[in-house]
Structure 1
Amino acid sequence: MNRLNDTLAQLEFAQIGWVVPDIHAAVRFLSDTLGIPGFPEPEYVRAQDLNMTYQGEVVAADWLTTQTYNGGAFIELIQPLSGRSMFHDYLARHPEGGTQHLAFRLPVSGFERITSALREQGYAVVSEVDHPIARMAFFDTYQPLGMVTEIMGITPDGWEIVKQMEGRS
């Protein structure tokens, strides 16, 4: 096993992130055609409101997003609207959309250890978020995986929200 796989093996798979050109069409397909229930109405997100960095700086960007929990993982859909972000870049390269990232989670106490290991292995951070429920780092793993890898360090309050979203008590 290579060093990236050794690092990722310490984590729990949490989410697949699809960037799509039309979020409503994607929800209809996943819900009506594939029978995946539970997508809430897409919400409007601004990178600046999350203090989300892109290539090291907070930039003006916005998108629509929705997600549901299905079969052991979250399915997240993102439709870029305007600005600069890893989502906008992905859709510019792949106008039809596609799988842009896979997310792996662990308690926030282990976040620095895992993200430091990825940095030491030469994987650059594309985007970061420091949110009260989770710290998130998105790594450029296009070369080995064909997509970005997101590491989520979930806070204690965040685990409660994750349980609610998964439908667990």
Structure 2
Amino acid sequence: MEIKTDQLQKFLPLPSVTQIGIVVPHLEEAILLYQEKFFIGSFERIADFQKLGYHETYYRGEPEKFNSTFAFFSLGAMEVEIIQPLSGRSIYWDFLNAGRQGLHHLGFDVYGDLDQRVKAYAEVGIDVLMSGKGPNRAFAYLDTERVGGVIFELLERGGPRKRPRGSNTP
């Protein structure tokens, strides 16, 4: 389907970017690199995506049980997420299998309207590549690389990480 780019800006404005996603083949090597070369001190690690309780996960519209390990650090008000895929079909594996690594996506926190945004993007020709729903959170990666060269992730977070401090997003 052709993307109706003239409608994107008018009807689908995005909030501020809150996350940079980086995909790597080896998480521990990437952490060491960021610590040694960029002096990043502490990382929050999530060893097993499946243990986060996501009960509805999809890859390109089909149910899929994928797994990854993550590390997070803050860069000012920005969250940097480093991802190593572990199992199952995922857009992270697609990225690595295409011979790429590094910047993968930009994340945007949306509050209470993820499903409506996904539907609106579909109406202008932008589909969901991968998505998941879990307790107090959901995500949808949009097929925006065709338009702007990078994937957009819409994040709906609940609980203590719901809205970043100083965020002016609606």
TM-score above 0.5: yes
Equivalent position of 1:80 in the other structure: 85
Offset of residue 17 of structure 1? 0.8
Equivalent position of 2:168 in the other structure: none
Equivalent position of 1:154 in the other structure: 157
CA 1:7 to 1:72, structure 2 compared with 1: closer, same or farther past 3 Å?
farther
Matches within 5 A, 1:3-152: 3-6=7-10, 9-46=13-50, 50=54, 51-95=56-100, 97-108=101-112, 110-152=113-155
Gaps of 5+ in 2: 166-170
Q: Normalising by structure 1, report the TM-score.
A: 0.81
- Retained in 1: the 8 A contact 2:12–2:120? no
Identity score, percent:
25
Gaps of 5+ in 1: none
In 2, Cα distance between the equivalents of 1:132 and 1:141? Answer: 26
In 2, Cα distance between the equivalents of 1:53 and 1:47? Answer: 16
Offset of residue 8 of structure 1? 5.8
Offset of residue 45 of structure 1? 2.2
Q: Give the RMSD, CA atoms, in angstroms.
A: 2.5
Of Structure 1 and Structure 2, which has the larger fraction of its residues in helix? Answer: 1
In 2, Cα distance between the equivalents of 1:77 and 1:7? Answer: 31
Aligned residues: 160
CA 1:42 to 1:99, structure 2 compared with 1: closer, same or farther past 3 Å?
same
Q: Secondary structure at the match of 2:21?
A: strand
CA 1:129 to 1:42, structure 2 compared with 1: closer, same or farther past 3 Å?
closer
Offset of residue 48 of structure 1? 10
The Cα offsets for residues 90-124 of structure 1, whole Å up to 9 and x where unpaired, read as 110124x121111111211x323322221111001
CA 1:7 to 1:13, structure 2 compared with 1: closer, same or farther past 3 Å?
farther
